[in-house]
Amino acid sequence: MAWTPGEAPTPRWPHASRRRLLLAIYLDYLLFGAPWTIATAALERFWPGLDRLSLPLNLAFFLALEVVLMARVRWSPGQFCLGIVTSERSTFAPIGPDEKPVYLVDPWRLAHERWWTLLFGVVTILDGAKAIARWTMWHAPVPFMGVLLPFEASVAMMVLFGVGETWVGVSALRLKAIVGPLGLAVFGALAASSLLSWSLMPEWVERYVVARRAAAGMTPRPGEIEFMQVVIPSANLAAACIAEIWALGIGARAKRARGH
């Protein structure tokens, strides 16, 4: 099938597979989990010890919200990302008053997405969600463009890039052509920052490893800091460059699929 969205008047909308629905639920968890983690961290100021309950509260909140979305609203961000819609909300598959709604998938999306477009979208959203919320658990101020930022500015920068990565991931899953220039901007900035901050990275890696281990009630293992000082800077730069190329490839595919 090679139609673009809206060209085919009544394409057959197939049922969403169980794996696709489970993936939509996982995306919901990521997209709702990051802001909820920040909210529980803010509430800890008024409720000391809340951090010990953060995971159970996060899961309880998510399960309650997901039940409402699945049973009543019949829409969620994860479903939106994956082109899933219920038959009762679709003009392509109207149902009678006594029929049970079913989950359908946009046939254009199925025809043009690939495993590597899905993988990129999910991994990028995952990394974006971590960047948005990780500072609530541990944070060592990150060097940015060759400057060692203070704590508050570093947190703001991490959240900003986390939101940017999430936007890139959603655009990739929805096969939007904007994923190319958007990914180039976000990951290009991260790659440039890694290069310009190269001399500051060893000091930051040491603080990062110590903070991460301290959050788990541990201390760094012998040789761990030295190993991470070698691996992390190169890995960050390589990951940003690969993500740039990947995003540009998905953007090119989206343009071809939409006939641009």
Query: 151-173 and 115-133 helices cross at what angle (nearest 10)?
Result: 160
The pLDDT assigned to 124 comes to 97
Contact between 27 and 82 (Cβ < 8 Å): yes
Q: What is the total residue count of the chain?
A: 260
What string of pLDDT tens digits covers the 260 residues of the chain?
334 444 444 457 888 899 999 999 999 999 998 888 888 777 777 766 656 656 677 788 888 888 888 878 888 999 999 999 887 555 555 554 555 678 899 999 999 999 999 999 999 999 999 999 888 888 888 899 999 888 899 999 999 999 999 999 999 999 999 999 999 999 999 999 999 999 999 999 999 999 888 877 888 888 889 999 999 999 999 999 999 999 999 999 999 988 75
Neighbour tally for 47: CB within 10 Å: 10
Here the tokens at position 175 are 């096969």
* pLDDT at 181 (0 to 100): 96
Distance of alpha carbon 17 from the chain centroid? 22
CA-based nearest residue to 188, from 244, 115, 149, 233: 244
Q: Measured between alpha carbons, how far is 242 from 123 in angstroms, rounded to an integer?
A: 13
At CA 237, angle to CA 122 and CA 38, rounded to 5? Answer: 50
CA dist 178 → 113, 171, 222 (Å): 15, 7, 45
User: How remote is the C-alpha of 85 from its chain's centroid?
Assistant: 21
Query: What is the secondary structure of the chain as a DSSP string?
Result: --PPTTTSSS---PBPPHHHHHHHHHHHHHHHHHHHHHHHHHHTTTSTTGGGGHHHHHHHHHHHHHHHIIIII---HHHHHTTEEEGGG-SSS---TTSPP-EEE-HHHHHH--HHHHHHHHHHHHHHHHHHHGGGT---PPEETTEE--HHHHHHHHHHHHHHHHHHHHHHHTT-TTHHHHHHHHHHHHHHHHHHTGGGHHHHHHHHHHHHHHHTT--PPTTHHHHHHHHHHHHHHHHHHHHHHHHHHHHHHHHHHTT-
Displacement of CA 2 from its chain's centroid (Å):
28
Instruction: Note the pLDDT of residue 5.
Output: 46
d(Cα 187, Cα 255) in Å, to the nearest integer?
A: 20
> Directed axis angle between helix 54-68 and helix 18-43, to 10°?
130
Per-residue confidence (pLDDT) for residue 62, from 0 to 100: 83
| Rg, Å, the chain Cα set | 21
